[in-house]
Amino acid sequence: MSASTQGAAAADSGLAQAAPRRPGAIKTAILTQPQALIGLAIIGAFVIIALVAPLFLSGDPKAKVGPIFEPPSTAHPLGLDGGGADMIRLLIAGTRVSLLVGFCAALVSAIIGGTIGVLSGFFGGKTDIALMRMTDYFLVIPDIPLMIVAAALFGRSLTNIIIIIGIIYWTTTARLIRAQVKSVRERVYVKRSRALGAGNGRLIFKHILPQVAPLLIANTVLLVAYAIFAETFITFLGLGDPSVISWGRLIENAFQDDAILNNAWWAIVPPGLCVTLIVLGATIFGQSLEDGLNPRLRVGHLSVRRFKVRPLRGKLDTE
């Protein structure tokens, strides 16, 4: 090997050591969109409540511990519902179920949408057309009525609810991932890998998926928001699993038990607030992640820029 190449690389090495490690894509996204942390905090709070609180409580949350619709007191800060059960214990139980349904359904959607998006974007051609046609059909079907019909037809177990929600919401994910895969597929390093003989499997799993994963994660978080809302809605309509407590069920119960007539706001507002809060949190987090991950969304400023002028330093010695 010639001296010139040796020398060049050796002197280059100084620079190589100096460059810092760049944080991962998700971390960078969070750094540029600090409001993401607010969303994450909200979700985190609920998750902690769902996991930790039941350890300190025992017995059946639905047990009657006092008169129907008793107002909030020191013993029961959120009062009692239409069956005399403690609202707080019911809410905690409901958190577990709602979050479970939300995460699982979002996962189902992400898997379906992600797979279809990857297959469509990577293979293109007839596969793409067929899959996108199917996606369009699903997009066109109104989601809520479909969920109602499916729930009414297939039974009201928790698993069914998860599946039903999962197969409604994958369409946006599929389109998003497909677009991303199409663009990554054209990158030079993917073409290079293909040129040296790499098979489709390797290209998809080693080169394309890692690039697409952050966006998929961001999108899944948004799906959690949709899914929790959907579950609440279905359950409220009376199509939910009767054996489980969820926030939707609490609201439904409150309606059935005429909470409003009894001025028992504590039976309706808290569950509704919980749903709102977590949907808000997931939306903020997911949206901020998506914004942070999409470089094209960064906008330049058109207002007149004012650069600063510093006072003159000593004049240069020019002769």
Partner 1 sequence: MSTNGSKPLLEVEGLHARYPVGRGIVGTVSRAPKLEVRAVDGVSFSLKRGEMLALVGESGCGKTSTAQSILRMIELSGGSIRFDGEEISGLSAKQLRPLRRRMQIVYQDPYESLDPRFRVGATIEEPLQVHGIGSKDDRREEVKRALELAGLTPPELYIDRYPHELSGGQRQRVAIAASLVLHPELLVADEPVSMLDVSVRAGILSILDELRDNGLAVLMITHDLSTAAHYADRIAVMYLGRIVEEGPTREVIENAQHPYTRALLSVVPKRDPRDRGTPQILRGETPNSIHIPPGCRFNPRCPMAIAECKTVDPELRRPAASRDPEHRAACIRV
Partner 2 sequence: MTPLLAVEDLNIWFELPNGGELHAVRGVSFDLEGGERFGLVGESGCGKTTAMLSLMGLLPPNASVSGEVRLEGENILERGEESVSPHRWSDIAMVFQGAMNAFNPVKTVGSQIEEPMRLHGVAEGRVARRQVEELLERVGISKDRAARYPHEFSGGMRQRAAIAMALACEPKILLADEPTTALDVMVQAQILELLGSLASDFNLALILVTHDLPVVAQVCDRAAVMYAGEVAEAASTDALFHTPRHPYTRLLFAATPDLHAGGERVASIPGAPPRLDRPIVGCPFQPRCDRAFAPCPIETPLLKSVGERHVAACHLNDHVREALPA
Q: Is 14 in the site for partner 2 (CB under 8 A)?
A: yes
Partner whose binding site includes residue 27, from partner 1, partner 2, none (CB under 5 to 8 Å by kind): none
Which stretches of the chain bind partner 1, using CB under 8 A? 1-2, 4-6, 8-10, 12-13, 15-17, 19, 21-22, 187-193, 195-199, 202, 207, 210-211
Residue 316 interacts, among partner 1, partner 2, none and using kind-specific CB cut-offs from 5 to 8 Å, with: partner 2
- Among partner 1, partner 2, none, residue 296 binds (CB under 5-8 Å by kind): none
309 contact choice in partner 2, partner 1, none (CB below 5 to 8 Å, kind-dependent): partner 2
Among 18, 153, 188, 299, binds partner 2 (CB under 8 A): 18
* Nearest residue to 86 via CA among 94, 99, 95, 77: 77
Inter-CA distances, 246 with 48, 84, 183, 266, Å: 17, 17, 41, 16
| Least spacing, CB of residue 192 vs partner 1, in Å | 6
Residue 64 contacts which entry, partner 1, partner 2, none (Cβ below 5-8 A, type-dependent): none
Among 73, 78, 106, 71, which Cα is nearest to 92's?
Answer: 78
Beta carbons of 42 and 30 less than 8 angstroms apart? no
> Is residue 65 packed enough to be buried (19+ CB in 10 Å), middle (13-18) or exposed (0-12)?
middle
* 3 state SS of 82: coil
Residue 218 Cβ, how far from partner 2 at the closest point, in Å? 22
Stretch of residues binding partner 2 (CB under 8 A), selected from 118-126, 213-221, 228-236, 308-316: 308-316
- Burial of 28 per CB tally in 10 Å (0-12, 13-18, 19+): middle
Secondary structure (DSSP) of 271-302: HHHHHHHHHHHHHHHHHHHHHHH-GGG-----
Is residue 308 a contact residue for partner 2 (CB under 8 A)? yes
Q: How far is the CB of 22 from partner 2 (least distance, A)?
A: 13
Comparing CA positions, the residue from 182, 313, 219, 280 lying closest to residue 190 is 182
Of residues 55 and 304, the one with the C-beta less far from partner 2 = 304
Instruction: Give the number of C-alpha atoms closer than 13 A to the C-alpha of residue 150, restricted to the C-beta side.
Output: 19
- Binding part of the chain for partner 2, among 9-17, 165-173, 194-202, 249-257 by CB under 8 A, reads 9-17
CB-wise, 1 or 316, nearer to partner 2? 316
The set of residues, in sequence order, having a beta carbon less than 8 Å from that of 264 and lying 6+ positions away, is 69, 71, 79, 81, 82, 254
In sign, the C-alpha dihedral spanning 236, 242, 244, 245 is: positive
243 binds partner 2 (CB under 8 A): no
Tokens representing 258 are: 């005429």
Nearer to partner 1, 142 or 197 (CB): 197
Coil vs helix vs strand at 118 = helix
Place of tokens 């039903």: 164
**Which of partner 2, partner 1, none binds 187 (CB below 5-8 Å, type-dependent)?**
partner 1
| Binds partner 2 (CB under 8 A): choice among 22, 126, 133, 313 | 313
Q: Is residue 12 involved in binding partner 2 (CB under 8 A)? A: yes
Q: Does 317 bind partner 2 (CB under 8 A)?
A: yes
- Alpha carbon distance 145, 166 (integer Å): 15
Count of residues near partner 2 by CB under 8 A = 24
Query: Greatest CA separation found in the chain?
Result: 98
Pick the stretch among 117-125, 163-171, 224-232, 307-315 that binds partner 2 (CB under 8 A): 307-315
Residue 192 binds what, of partner 1, partner 2, none (CB under 5 to 8 Å, by partner type)? partner 1
Give residues in contact with partner 2 (CB under 8 A): 4, 7-8, 10-12, 14-15, 18, 304-313, 315-319
